[in-house]
């Protein structure tokens, strides 16, 4: 090879490589070992009381794990100082569905502590996401509004498509969703609903605190004709809520219940789990040492089969 040809080869090589490899990464730090906290739910059914005071359906745990995170169960019997310490270690928080007083219960008390910690942290540039499912979304509206604005929006054991708003197509939650799935989401019953209460659209629009805090990404119509908010996203904060249950699409199978199991329903559940866990990856909170981390995770508990007395295949009790 002549010197001229060699020089041209070298030049071409470096031109190609300069295009293939960025000169600087210039990207924000990412936590590749996230831990999402799940706030335990109060046991209210008599058949469940012999097993523990609080519980987490295994479907929520599997949902978070499927997105690439580990799970820390958070009990309702700790002190404020202990919750503050936990907050410094986890990378996000999930409020699950269930039944509890959203203003006076221990569930509401503990949620309020974490909500205030998350507000303060995000205001200081310390990224921390929160997700609320069903009653968890209702709880987020109570925390933001400072009052309970729920009304009868019964949609019990019904799978429905979503009425997406204009904000949905520019949202963080649905960013990157395939166009086909976004279209299908408005046509096929991909979202399982199991609730009696929610926030009516008109109530949301008339409440300044909710309007300023959240964008409405979707709405639905209840059995009584009430038009309710079904998906929300924080405008300034990484807080998200769905009145429906994305975890059931892949992890609950009771034939008496209308759990969507179509390919599109599975895809929806998968993408949302990955979305929220990726939000958690942006949090750099961490445990003080590996031993403390290991002792805090859900792996230390064994779920029990509960299909004979609940709608869940498995439950963790605490």
Q: Which of 195, 245, 264, 285 is catalytic?
A: 245
Q: Which two tokens stand for residue 81?
A: 């100082």
Q: Which of 134, 195, 264, 285 is catalytic?
A: 134
Q: Are the C-beta atoms of 140 and 132 separated by less than 8 Å?
A: yes
Give me the sign of the Cα torsion angle 64, 69, 73, 76. negative
Q: CA 235 to CA 193: how far, in whole Å? A: 25
Q: pLDDT for 34-87, tens place per residue?
A: 999 999 999 988 989 999 999 999 999 999 999 999 999 999 999 999 999 999
According to the model, what pLDDT value does residue 311 have?
Answer: 82
Q: Which two tokens stand for residue 229?
A: 């908010």
According to the model, what pLDDT value does residue 196 have?
Answer: 97
Burial letters for 53-88: b for 16+ Cβ neighbours within 10 Å, e otherwise?
A: ebbbbbbbbbbbbbbbbbbbbbbbeeeeeebeebbe
Let me know if 134 is a catalytic residue: yes
Let me know if 195 is a catalytic residue: no
Q: Are the C-beta atoms of 55 and 81 separated by less than 8 Å?
A: no
DSSP string, 202-260: HHHHH-HHHHHHEEEEEEEE-TTS-EEEEEEEESSS-EEEESS-TTHHHH---TTS---
Which domains occur in the chain, in start order? 35-317 (3.40.50.880)
> Interior CA angle at 72 toward 138 and 279, to 5°?
65
Run means of pLDDT, 10 residues per run, the chain, 318 residues: 45 40 51 98 91 96 98 97 98 96 96 98 98 98 98 98 98 96 98 98 98 98 98 98 98 96 98 98 97 98 88 94
Q: CA 226 to CA 224: how far, in whole Å? A: 6
Q: CA 259 to CA 246: how far, in whole Å? A: 9
According to the model, what pLDDT value does residue 292 have?
Answer: 97
According to the model, what pLDDT value does residue 22 have?
Answer: 39
């Amino acid at each position: 090879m002549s010197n001229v040809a060699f020089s041209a080869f070298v030049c071409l090589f470096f031109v190609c490589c300069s295009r293939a490899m960025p000169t600087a990464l210039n990207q924000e730090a990412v936590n590749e070992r996230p831990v999402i906290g799940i706030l335990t739910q109060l046991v209210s059914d008599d058949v469940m009381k012999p097993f523990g005071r609080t519980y987490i359906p295994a479907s929520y745990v599997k949902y978070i794990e499927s997105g690439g995170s580990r799970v820390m169960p958070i009990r309702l019997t700790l002190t404020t100082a202990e919750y503050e310490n936990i907050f410094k270690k986890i990378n996000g928080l999930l409020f699950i569905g269930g039944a509890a007083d959203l203003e006076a219960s221990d569930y509401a008390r503990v949620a309020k502590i974490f909500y205030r910690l998350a507000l303060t942290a995000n205001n200081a540039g310390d990224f921390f996401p929160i997700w609320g499912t069903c009653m968890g979304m209702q709880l987020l509206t109570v925390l933001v509004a400072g009052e309970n604005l729920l009304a009868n929006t019964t949609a019990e054991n019904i799978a429905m498509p979503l009425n997406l708003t204009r904000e949905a197509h520019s949202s963080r939650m649905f960013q990157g969703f395939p166009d086909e799935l976004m279209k299908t989401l408005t046509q096929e019953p991909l979202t399982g609903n199991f609730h009696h209460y929610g926030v009516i659209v008109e109530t949301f629009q008339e409440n300044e605190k909710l309007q300023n805090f959240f964008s409405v990404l979707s709405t639905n119509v209840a059995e009584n004709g009430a038009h309710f908010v079904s998906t929300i996203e924080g405008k300034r904060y990484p807080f998200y809520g769905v009145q429906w249950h994305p975890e059931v699409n892949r992890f609950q199978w009771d034939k008496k219940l209308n759990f969507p199991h179509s390919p599109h329903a599975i895809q929806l559940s998968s993408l949302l789990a990955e979305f929220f866990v990726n939000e958690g990856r942006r949090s750099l909170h961490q445990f003080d040492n590996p031993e403390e981390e290991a002792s805090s995770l859900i792996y230390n508990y064994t779920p029990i089969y509960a299909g004979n007395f609940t709608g869940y295949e498995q439950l963790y009790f605490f």
